[in-house]
Structure 1
């Protein structure tokens, strides 16, 4: 499985250590991040969801804990924009190469600016989608930022 998705291929190529975590995805469950935290027995604040957003016409990746929500105004401010909305799911899938519920911030078809909620820095490792439903990747937040070219900012809210 280490080379099974574009995310794992990108991490392997970059020489970044990660731990894959596969689990049985319930097709009826649409709360993908909470499902991952529950099935894997993890703190939901350590499991992060990848949200594709549109900030003033630019696709931007926002990564926030599954236990909270994305603050769209804070995200827009973090990237010097005025207005942010969630991206159209079809556009997100086309531009990332992943399907909704399995969008990884790593190994996307097109590079996008990426913002990771600053709470990730509270953990030695965080969990993000590995590129398909039922598959998460555990890695250090600094490595996540390195492989995505991302920055941290206070973009999450409870």
Structure 2
């Protein structure tokens, strides 16, 4: 299944006018630490994809690999002028695969089966280059935070858990 997922990410990158920078790392890039070691960067430069649920809507938080996402901050970032609209909770692996088309460890910021609501961790913008999952636990692609924002259609937000 990962071959199709990686190709879906490649197609989404090309369709958005982004270079195909997908690279494979047979030893794995499942965690931010593994991905950073594989590409030779700081853990903070890994743009990790975390999927939450807001009812039936997927919420994709693209966080710096050095950070944990704060669900309360995510909910606040998603709220409208009328106040909280979404109850955000953790998503289980089966639901993530069903709605995104990706297994946990390979969730990309693009190419989702169901378009998610997207938030980008403000801390990613402190780096010139970042790497994100490309559809499998062994594939990543290089990009910039500004391109990631454009590609994902997301919103910049403070989502980092304090402490």
**TM-score of the two chains, using structure 2 as the length reference:** 0.85
Between Structure 1 and Structure 2, how many residues are aligned?
A: 154
Match of 1:148 in 2: 152
Give the 5 Å matches for 1:48-67.
48-67=47-66
Structure 1 residue 126: Cα displacement: 1.2
Residue 68 (str. 1) matches residue 67 (str. 2): yes
Give the whole-Å Cα distance in 2 for the aligned partners of 1:44 and 1:11: 23
| Root-mean-square deviation over aligned CA pairs | 2.1
Query: 1:73·1:83 contact (CA, 8 Å) conserved in 2?
Result: no
CA offsets 1:6-43 (integer angstroms, 9 cap, x no match): 111101111113522321235xx9x5222111222210
**Structure 1: tracts of 5 or more residues without a match:** none
Task: Find the residue that maps to 1:70 and give its secondary structure.
Answer: coil
CA offsets 1:87-121 (integer angstroms, 9 cap, x no match): 12111101111111111111111111100101111
Give the whole-Å Cα distance in 1 for the aligned partners of 2:103 and 2:57: 19
Runs of 4+ in structure 1 off by over 4 angstroms are: none
Residue 15 (str. 1) matches residue 22 (str. 2): no
**Structure 2: tracts of 5 or more residues without a match:** none
Give the whole-Å Cα distance in 2 for the aligned partners of 1:24 and 1:90: 24
Give the 5 Å matches for 1:1-158.
4-26=6-28, 32-80=31-79, 81=84, 83-157=87-161
**TM-score of the two chains, using structure 1 as the length reference:** 0.87
Give the whole-Å Cα distance in 2 for the aligned partners of 1:16 and 1:39: 22
Richer in helix (by share) = 2
Give the whole-Å Cα distance in 2 for the aligned partners of 1:58 and 1:109: 12
Give the whole-Å Cα distance in 2 for the aligned partners of 1:94 and 1:85: 17
